[in-house]
Amino acid sequence: MRVHICAVGRLRAGPERALIDDYRTRFDRTGQALGLGPLQVREVGDRKGGGAEAEAALIRRAIPGGALVCVLDERGKAMTSPGFAQRLARWRDDGQSDVAFVIGGADGLWPGLRAEADFVLGFGAMVWPHMLARVMLSEQLYRAASILAGGPYHRGDAAGR
């Protein structure tokens, strides 16, 4: 199952880019044997200043046809890392060929795009900077692949506490 991060804004060289590139490489390496990956990052920018609705139109074009759409939103479902890994595995095992994780820009996601999503994921009730959310998602994707591979990366107990 191919995994896409579709995000508003262009990430320049710097610590966030380095972290994402590192986790992306790790995910691709770990996920390949599991039928996960590659991980692609698709960035869109709204140069017209149209706000969240204009960004939603750009994001829709970045999402591969037929992909399961998972948006990140502070009102989304909070999950443990093992729970997220199992969700990813379920999508793969159900025959989903692509999953697109959507991260909005500074103005958040347009409500219409959020309503169209197949799944809404949250990293807690706090609002995170959209560039940092990319890093967190990349890390959790790698962690999920590591958990599914039975690797030592996840150090929590079986309940995911």
pLDDT per residue as tens digits for the range 55-100: 999 999 999 999 999 999 999 999 999 999 999 999 999 999 999 9
Edge-to-edge order in the sheet of strand 2-8: 39-44, 2-8, 98-103, 68-78, 119-122
- The 3-state DSSP class for residue 124 equals coil
- Measured CA to CA, the distance from residue 37 to residue 137 in angstroms comes to 14
CA–CA gap between residue 132 and residue 155 (Å, rounded): 23
pLDDT of residue 51: 85
Q: What is the pLDDT of residue 12?
A: 87
Q: What is the CATH number of domain 2-148?
A: 3.40.1280.10
In this prediction, residue 125 carries a pLDDT of 85
The pLDDT score that the predictor gives to residue 158 is 47
Structural contact between residues 44 and 8, judged by C-beta atoms closer than 8 angstroms:
yes
Residues of the chain with pLDDT under 70: 46-48, 153-161
- Classify burial at 161, counting beta carbons within 10 Å of its beta carbon; exposed 0-12, middle 13-18, buried 19 or more: exposed
Query: What span, in angstroms and rounded, lies between the C-alpha atoms of 100 and 3?
Result: 6
| pLDDT, position 47 | 60
pTM of the model: 0.92
Distance of CA 76 to the CA centre of its chain: 13
Domain ranges of the chain: 2-148
CB distance 147 to 84 below 8 Å? no
Q: Is 19 exposed, middle or buried (0-12, 13-18, 19+ CB in 10 A)?
A: middle
Residue 156: per-residue pLDDT: 55
